[in-house]
Amino acid sequence: MRILVLGNGGREHALVWKLRQSPRVSKMYCAPGNGGIVDEAECLPVDLKSLDSILTLGQQVRPDLTVVGPELPLMLGVVDEFTRRGWPVFGPTKAAAQLESSKSFAKEFLQRHRIPTAAYAICDSVDEVREALSHFHLPVVVKADGLAAGKGVVIAASKEEAASVAAEMFSGKMVGDAGARVVLEECLKGDELSFLVLSDGERVAPLVAAQDHKRVGAGDTGPNTGGMGAYSTADIVDDTMRDWLVHHIAKPVVEGMKAEGAEYKGILYCGLMMTARGPMVLEFNCRFGDPETQPILMRLESDLVDALEASIEGRVSEGDFKWSTDASVCVVMASGGYPGTFEMGKKISGLDEAAAVDGVKVFHAGTSKRDGEFYTAGGRVLGVSARATELETALQRVYQACGKIGFDGAHYRRDIAGRAMKR
C-alpha cells in the first residue's frame, strides 16, 4: 500500500520511519517533509496552511492511507474532505479537533463532562482578564485560546504580568489570531504526563506514556517551547494508574464527543498534571505529540499501519499495540535563539557519527538537504533519540550522540528525564 504522511517535523520523520517498517507498505510519501525524511520517503511539495493545496496533492497521489501529522490541517478540515471523497485518512474531524484548536471549547467540554481539570476563566478583553484575576491565586497560567505551536502559554508570577501578557495576546503581536481569546487557569503543581490513546469513536487503546519537557532551559526554566525532549519507560505509570486514566479521562472524552455529535477518531493526546489531588487535564492534542512520538514509537514493536486502520475502520482493541519494556528518550537540538528569533541555513556536522551510536536514531525536524549536506531550517532542528534496556543507558547513548553533532548556535537540554533518574 501507498502511505502519505502530512507534515515536516520530527514527529513526521518518526511516523515515516515506523510506518515504512510495515511489510504492507510499498511506497512512502511525505509532504512537504524535511532534509532527513528525503532519505526515507518521496517528499512532495504542499502548503499545509491551504486545504486546497492538500486536496490537490491527495488527488494526485491517491494514497491508500493518509496520516495527518500537525494540528493545522486538522483544524482546516482535511479529514472531513478526504473522507467525503472516499480517501482513507487517519485523524479527527474539524469538529472533533476543537479539543485542541480551542482551549475554551476544551475547558467547557471538560466541565460539562466532569473530567478533572484546573479552575479557569475565559476572557475576551483585558478588562475581563483583570476582573477574573481576582479569583485566582498566584502564579496564574495565561493561555492563548487558539493554536500557537506550543508557545501560547505563559505562567505569570503577578497579576500585572498576567494582564500584560493577555494584552499582548489580544493585540496579535504575540501569537497572531490564536490570542483573540484568552484562558486563565490555576497553576497546577506536580509532574506532567503525556498520555495518548488510539480511538475509533467508541473504543480506546492506550499507548505507552511519556513525559515532555516544554521549558527551554535546564531545571524547567525559561519560556515554553514546542518541546525540548521526552522520555518513555515501562514504569512511568503503573497498570492501575493507566486503567484509571483510560476510564476516567480518555474514555469519557471519546464518549462525550460522540454524545455531542463530533465522533472522535484518531490519536487523543491527553496532557496531564499528576497533582496531589489526582491527575488533571492541562490540554488536549488531537494528533501524535512532538517530541513524545519519537520515544513512544521507538518502543512500539507491532505494526503501526494495522493500528491506524483499526481506528479508521472502527475496530480498535487493547491488542492493537505491542510494546517493548525498554526505555527510550529523545533530546531536541535547537537553533540558537529558539524559541525566539533564530537564524537558519547553518551546516550540520556529525550526523553519521551520531547515528552509529548503538540504539540511536536521529530524527530530523527543522532541516534541509543540499548537495548531500544538511542545514538547519527551523527552530527545533533534530530529535536525537535512543532506546536501551535501562533509562540510564538510553540517556548515555543519546547524549553521546548529541555530542557528535554540531551546528552554529546549537543548544539542547542536558537534563531530560532528570527527575526520573533522581527517583
**How is domain 191-320 classified at the CATH fold level?**
D-amino Acid Aminotransferase; Chain A, domain 1 (3.30.470)
Span(s) in the chain for CATH 3.30.470.20: 191-320
Residue type, 235: D
Domain boundaries for CATH 3.90.600.10 within the chain: 327-422
Q: Decide: 422 and 365 in contact? Cβ < 8 Å.
A: no
Q: Return residue ranges of the chain for CATH 3.40.50.20.
A: 2-91
Let me know: does 96 contact 109? Beta carbons within 8 Å.
no
pLDDT tier at 410, thresholds 50, 70, 90: very high
CATH of domain 119-186: 3.30.1490.20
The CATH classification number of 327-422 equals 3.90.600.10
What is the pTM assigned to this prediction?
Answer: 0.94
Average pLDDT over residues 351-379: 98
CATH topology of domain 2-91: Rossmann fold (3.40.50)
Question: Which residues make beta-bridge pairs with 303?
Answer: none
Residues 6+ apart with CB under 8 A from 162: 129, 133, 140, 142, 156, 184
* pLDDT, tens only, 130-170: 999 999 999 999 999 988 876 788 999 999 999 999 999 99
Query: What is the Cα 419 distance to its own chain's centre?
Result: 21
Q: How confident is the model at residue 344 (pLDDT cuts 50, 70, 90)?
A: very high
- Which 3 state secondary structure label does DSSP give 5? strand
Least confident of 179-188, 303-312, 322-331: 179-188
- For residues 8 and 20, the answer to whether their CB atoms sit within 8 Å is no
* pLDDT (tens digit per residue) in 382-396: 999 999 999 999 999
Measured at the CA of 333, the angle between CA 329 and CA 337, to 5 degrees, comes to 140
Question: Is 249:195 a contact under the CB 8 Å cutoff?
Answer: yes
pLDDT at 60 over 80: yes
Given a cut of 90, is residue 176 above it in pLDDT? no
| Digit-coded pLDDT (tens) for 83-95 | 999 999 999 999 9
d(CA 233, CA 59): 41
